[in-house]
Amino acid sequence: MTYKAVLFDAYGTILDVDSAAATLASSGRFPALKDRWPELAALWRARQLNYSWLRSLSGDYILFWQITCDALDYALEALGLEDAEMREALLDLYRRLDAYEEVSEVLDAIDSAGLPAAILSNGNHQMLADAFTHAGLIDRFNAMISVEDVGIYKPSAEIYQLGCNSYDAAPGEILFASSNGWDAAAAAHFGYHSLWANRASMPLERLAGTPHHIGSDLRALIPLLSSS
């Protein structure tokens, strides 16, 4: 298999979406968050994805940052954790999410293979610029490809086509990695060569596509580069 580019999902794949709630809980600023941050992080993420899908179905696109805010507001109210100061602190940290520890190693391997690496994300351009600049990774990627340019969210085929357009590539010439099982499945269904970084050891999604490769984190991508 010869690849023209390696594309990554951003949130949950390169950037740890749980790190905002975990970091704030560990700071001790908000005692109510201490034992409940995993519950908050999970509900926040679930609603964030649900809202993106529902807005795509209804044709009512808004920026992913607003969806992220709306999802947090829902989660805080649902869990009885409403606090304006805590909300702002969580959103501030979401702009500065931690990257997973293996990311630099994987990007080094891609550089050694002579391939461009890019992000293909639901995140809008400003979100991505802020997050990857903070993580010190903005210069490690050839492009930040955002759904903002077409106004619909994954798993629409329009989004995966953006990756092909960016590199004048057929779908099978794109190696794509995501930690979201549904995203890795949809990418495979579109025609990408797909890796699912199954960080949470979840079962396969019952969807049309099946990821070509599954690993516990992004290091599973490194052996795939030798065939490019």
Distances (CA, A) of 195 to 10, 112, 120, 203, 205: 14, 19, 14, 14, 14
Q: Which secondary-structure segment (H or E) carries 165?
A: helix 157-167
Give the chain's end-to-end CA distance (angstroms, integer). Answer: 6
**How many CA atoms lie within 13 Å of 206's alpha carbon, on the beta-carbon side?**
0
Active site residue 92: no
| C-beta of residue 112 within 8 angstroms of C-beta of residue 2 | no
> Which position among 9, 16, 98, 183 bears the catalytic label?
9
**Residues taking part in catalysis:** 9
